[in-house]
């Protein structure tokens, strides 16, 4: 049963923009957090961004701060990651993930997330 569905990946050129979406098919309640991670070939999975569902508070890694923006649509149960000024270093498989109740110090820790999407490929190349 697919619970987190990601979409929006693709091939773009450096400097271009891309938007990723993640929709949760399950009910959303409690201290729900939706996050994005990415994994490039030969590298460990790294935190990109996250949003607290109730408050809308957002978190970003230093590598994407100022270029990426995360938002959520409560009605559609969808989080959107708007990625601008993409660089070749942004090439990776992007995964959305969900946790309930992560404290701020664990927002960027993959092990704190309970559910994961299947991933979507983002390739930035000229």
Instruction: Determine the Cα–Cα distance for residues 70 and 58; give it in Å rounded to an integer.
Output: 7
pLDDT of residue 40: 96
CA dihedral (73, 52, 46, 112) in degrees, to 10, reads -130
For 110, list phi and psi in degrees, rounded to 5. -60, -35
pLDDT at 1 over 70: no
Tens digits of residue pLDDT in 103-121: 888 999 999 999 999 999 9
Question: Sign of the CA dihedral 40, 35, 62, 66?
Answer: positive
Q: Which two tokens stand for residue 18?
A: 């891309």
Cα separation of the two ends of the chain: 37
pLDDT of residue 116: 95
**Residue 124 CA to chain centroid, in angstroms?**
17
pLDDT at 4 over 90: yes
pLDDT at 27 over 90: no
């Amino acid at each position: 049963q697919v619970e987190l569905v990601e979409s929006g990946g693709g091939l773009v050129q450096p400097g271009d923009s891309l938007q990723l979406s993640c929709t949760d098919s399950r009910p959303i309640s409690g201290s729900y957090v939706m996050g994005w991670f990415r994994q490039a070939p030969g590298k460990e999975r790294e935190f990109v961004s996250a949003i607290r569902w109730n408050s809308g508070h957002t978190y970003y890694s230093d590598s994407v701060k100022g270029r990426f923006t995360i938002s959520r649509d409560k009605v559609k149960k969808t989080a959107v990651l708007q990625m601008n000024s993409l660089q070749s270093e942004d090439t990776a498989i992007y995964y959305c993930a969900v946790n309930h109740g992560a404290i701020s110090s664990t927002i960027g820790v993959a092990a704190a997330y309970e559910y994961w999407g299947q991933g979507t490929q983002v390739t930035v190349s000229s």
